[in-house]
Amino acid sequence: MKQVIIQITSGRGPIECSRVVARLQEKIMADAKKKGISIQVISSEKGDLNGTLLSSLLLAEAEDPDAFLRQWQGTVQWIAQSPYRKFCKRKNWFAGISATDVQASRQWQEKDVVFETCRSSGPGGQHVNKTETAVRGIHKPTGLQVVASDSRSQRQNKQLCLQRLKEKFVMAQSQLLVAQQQEQWQEHNVLKRGEAVMVIREPL
């Protein structure tokens, strides 16, 4: 499976552009789910008003998301009257969309996880500390660890541990990519408004 981080930005545009970012986030997620692409919001920066976003980061996962990404990548022109400024004559608002592949070395692989059993701790009556049902999962390449002790079944705890460790791994890698690409994303502060890849006209 290929993992891709999608960034939507208002490029320091006015509040109407921040509204466009929020609307595009909804549209991209709906389109991805319709096409069977796993997608989730990993972070977003809220705008000054409710329903607005300065930027948004999505994580998409699919066997081949390239065709889907080509449809959205670039500058989007959104045509609508301003809902915030009654006498504003401007109707064209812009937002930028870019995508970055998560490097293969950072892909999640279950084979990189080792498990250790340990005794559950805390209240739990006569069953506590008699058997090693808790499971600690360790992701060897990153050193991330998670302990699961929800169930008395070691097998169930192992599955929970794997699930939580994957979530922790994805979040950590996403945050790392964001940090590494901060300078790149400064380029989005100046959107190429004359080269829109998509034009969306909002119904009156």
Q: What is the pLDDT of residues 40-89, one digit of tens each?
A: 998 888 999 999 999 998 989 998 888 899 999 989 999 999 999 989 99
- What span, in angstroms and rounded, lies between the C-alpha atoms of 204 and 200? 12
DSSP 3-state assignment of 163? helix
Cα Rg of the chain, angstroms: 22
- What span, in angstroms and rounded, lies between the C-alpha atoms of 191 and 141? 38
How many C-beta neighbours within 10 Å does residue 16 have? 23
More confident residue, 2 or 32: 32
User: What is residue 138's predicted lDDT score, i.e. its pLDDT?
Assistant: 94
CA-wise closest residue to 196 among 92, 119, 122 = 92
* Helices and strands per DSSP (H, E), number in the chain: 4, 9
User: What is residue 129's predicted lDDT score, i.e. its pLDDT?
Assistant: 45
Does the pLDDT of residue 188 top 60, yes or no? no
pLDDT, tens only, 19-35: 999 999 999 999 999 99
CA-wise closest residue to 5 among 75, 57, 63 = 57
Give the up-direction half-sphere exposure of residue 200: CA atoms within 13 A in the CB hemisphere: 16
pLDDT, tens only, 126-177: 444 456 789 999 999 889 999 998 888 888 999 999 999 988 887 787 777 6
In this structure, which amino acid lies at residue 130? K
Sign of the alpha-carbon dihedral angle for 44, 45, 47, 50: positive
pTM above 0.75, yes or no: no
Structure confidence at residue 93 as a pLDDT band (50, 70, 90): very high
How many residues does this entry show for the chain?
Answer: 204
CB-CB contact of 157 with 150 (8 Å): yes
More confident residue, 68 or 204: 68
